[in-house]
Amino acid sequence: MAKYEVQTCIGDGWENCWHVDDEPAYYDTHDEAMAAIYEFFADLSRAGMAQGYLLEDYRVRSVKDAV
């Protein structure tokens, strides 16, 4: 079964910077991963920090070998 990760644009590339207990975070569905991005932006907004981030710097990708 495919897993999904949230990737962040860093410099010229994309990488999974999202971790849980020092392990990369993976999601069972594309929708769950997108919900994590939207929750992240909601948290930023509540903290008054959303202006420092761009939604287009985050994406969801399928990962074949995810745990």
Could you state, in order of their start, the residue ranges of all structural domains in the chain?
A: 3-63
Task: Give the pLDDT of residue 2.
Answer: 80
How far is it, in rounded angstroms, from Cα 43 to Cα 54? 14
- Give SS3 for 62: strand
| Confidence (pTM) | 0.87
Q: Which residues of the chain have pLDDT under 50?
A: none
How far is it, in rounded angstroms, from Cα 67 to Cα 50? 31
Q: What is the dihedral of CA 36, 14, 62, 51, to 10 degrees?
A: 20
